[in-house]
Amino acid sequence: MLLTGLGNTAAVYDDLAPLLARRQPVVALTRRGFGGSSAPAAGYDVATRVEDLRLALDRLGLERVVLVGHSIAGDELTAFAGRYPQRVAGLVYLDSALNRFAMSRANPGQGCMQAYLEQAQSTLPPEQMLHPAGAEPRPRSHEALARLMALQGAPVPQTELYALSAWIPGGGVLPPTSARRAAEALSQGTELYRPDYRPLRMPLLALYAGQSPLNPLLPRIPAAQQRQARACARANAHFFQAAGPDGLRAQRPDATIEIWPDASHYLFLEHPHRTAKAIERFLENIPPQL
Tell me whether residue 289 is in a domain.
no
pLDDT at 100: 83
CA distance 203 to 283: 9
Whole-prediction pTM: 0.91
Residue 290's pLDDT is what? Answer: 46
Number of helices (H) and strands (E) in the chain: give both, helices first.
12, 10
Using CA atoms, how far apart are residues 113 and 119, in angstroms rounded to an integer? 10
> What pLDDT shows up at residue 152?
73
The C-alpha atoms of residue 169 and residue 21 are separated, in whole angstroms, by 39
- Say if 234 falls within a structural domain: yes
Count, residues in the chain:
290
- Tell me if 290 is assigned to some domain: no
Around 208, how many Cα atoms within 13 Å sit in the side-chain half-sphere? 21
Helix axes 46-60, 177-191, angle to 10 degrees: 110
Q: 200: helix, coil or strand?
A: coil
Domain membership of residue 261 (yes or no) is: yes
Q: Which domain holds residue 131?
A: 2-284
What is the tally of structural domains in the chain? 1
Distance CA 143, CA 92 (A): 31
Q: Is residue 80 part of a domain?
A: yes
CATH number at residue 177: 3.40.50.1820
State how far Cα 269 lies from the chain centre.
Answer: 11
Distance of CA 90 to the CA centre of its chain: 19
Q: Is residue 113 part of a domain?
A: yes
Pairwise CA distance, residues 94 & 111, whole Å: 23
* 231 within a domain of the structure (yes/no): yes
Residue pLDDT tens, the chain, 290 long: 999 999 999 999 999 999 999 989 999 999 999 999 999 999 999 999 999 999 999 999 999 999 999 999 999 999 999 999 999 999 999 999 998 877 766 555 556 766 776 776 666 677 788 877 777 778 888 888 888 888 777 889 999 999 988 888 778 898 888 999 999 999 888 888 899 999 999 999 999 999 877 777 777 777 778 788 788 877 778 788 888 999 999 999 999 999 999 998 999 999 999 999 999 999 998 877 64
* DSSP-based three-state secondary structure for 182: helix
